[in-house]
Amino acid sequence: MDHSYARKQVRLRGYDYATPGYYSVTICTARRRHLFGEVVNAEMQLSAAGQVALGCWNNLLHTLPISGDAFQVMPNHVHGIVVFERRTKLTLGIAVCAYKTRVTRAIRRLSLGVKVWQKGFYDHVVRDEEDLRRIRGYIVANPAMWESDRENERRVGKDEFHEWLLATGEKSLPARAGHERPTQEITPRKGRTLLRSHDDNPSTHERPAQEATPLRILRRSL
């Protein structure tokens, strides 16, 4: 069985990653090392480094102008949903770079002389409520599905979520401005504790916006 780490490129070319909306990200450890703990009986048991990864995510949500949704630390990667409620100078690439830097520095303070992260990260622009529901569900249930997880070097079977994510990235674009708006209000969940490849240079992550936009942030009238 081929367990190559190569990923298919499905980046939204020309997309402005500062656009308000929901973004799913996956960040992997260097060489897929099980740095953050292990899955035992379908539950994630965090190592000291895993506790750092969780704590730095929560800290990030309180120090940058973003909100968080579902988040999960896995043995060799983390999944999270980042929510941009309004446009600022911050971009998705800058936010992820800040997270990776904080985790690396904190782990070094534990005297763990290891390289923490694989270069870059993978993202998915959330299109609509069904998209968001499916991604949330996968992230929360990821430990129970570790046996077939694509990042598990001993996986058995097919990672159906990964296949769906690739198909979604290739065959559909986010709803255009003024069209196909969500039928329900979605409220970002502040402080709660996938796939396109980016490198770690924030200046290369974002390009001028096209018409396509992600799932909008809707607010109640006061």
Residue 66 lies in a domain: yes
What local confidence, expressed as pLDDT, does residue 11 receive? Answer: 53
CB 76 within 8 A of CB 69: no
What local confidence, expressed as pLDDT, does residue 13 receive? Answer: 73
Closest CA to 102 of 63, 50, 53: 53
- The total number of structural domains that make up the chain: 1
Domain that holds residue 155: 21-177+184-204
Q: Give bridge partners of residue 43 from the DSSP assignment.
A: 40
Alpha-carbon torsion, ordered 161, 126, 82, 133, to 10 deg = -60
Residues in the chain with pLDDT values less than 70: 1-12, 169-222
CATH of the domain at 45: 3.30.70.1290
Per DSSP, which regions of 3-157 are E strands?
Answer: 21-28, 37-40, 43-46, 67-73, 77-84, 121-125
Residue 11 lies in a domain: no
What local confidence, expressed as pLDDT, does residue 200 receive? Answer: 57
24: three-class secondary structure by DSSP? strand
What local confidence, expressed as pLDDT, does residue 189 receive? Answer: 43
